[in-house]
Amino acid sequence: MQTKALRELAEIRTGYPFRGGVDRVPEGGCLLVQAGNIDGEAGDLTGEPTRIVTPSNFREHVLHFADVLLIARGPRNDAATYTWGDGVAVAASHLMILRTAGRISFPDYLTWFLNLPATQAKIRAMRSESTVPFVSVEALGRLRVPVPSFDAQNAIAGIQKLSTQEQRLMEQLRRQRRVYVDGLLMEAVQRGCGGHGTNNQ
């Protein structure tokens, strides 16, 4: 199976270059994706989107459905596929946007590959040494990516989604089981207290 440099498989760009802080505005017309929204384990977005005032010159930075987002600055370099759907959205400046074309038919395959422990180790080795480590567009573009067949990419992306769904269902089941067991134990405590009375003399 052949491999290609990431720059040959995707357009790589940085997030919107905000100047100064970003103010949250509940009625804002633009969504902002930040590092906290990137769930590398699931390869998906998490949490609630932040709404901001639509920034100037935003059009060239607008996210497209199925763009791959990667955290480029800080201690982790997790990736996720953008799935928040319609509406204007931009990525924070510490994220990179990878827009696939051509040989990568399924962005979820690329997200899966980027989140592999071996790939994460390679990305960490690319980071510049500074107070806050970061990966440059040029360095990330040199990352070698295996390019399997269309069917293989589709199968990998599908299995990854099923695995993520299973993990979420198992976590939901674990929480529900804990609530159920706690309820049973509290009933036992209340029955025990009621049976023995409260004689403190």
Structure tokens at 113: 């590959």
pLDDT surpasses 90 at 67: yes
Mean pLDDT for the chain overall: 87
Cα dihedral 66, 86, 158, 15, rounded to 10, equals 30
Total Cβ atoms within 10 A of residue 44: 19
Q: Band of the pLDDT at 196, cuts 50, 70, 90? A: low
* CATH architecture under which domain 3-149 falls: Alpha-Beta Complex (3.90)
- Please name which of 28, 12, 24 lies closest in space to residue 123, comparing C-alpha atoms: 12
Give the mean pLDDT of 128-156. 90
Would strands 89-91 and 30-33 be described as parallel, antiparallel, or unpaired? parallel
Could you report the per-residue pLDDT of 74-103, keeping only the tens digit for each? 999 999 999 887 679 999 999 999 999 777
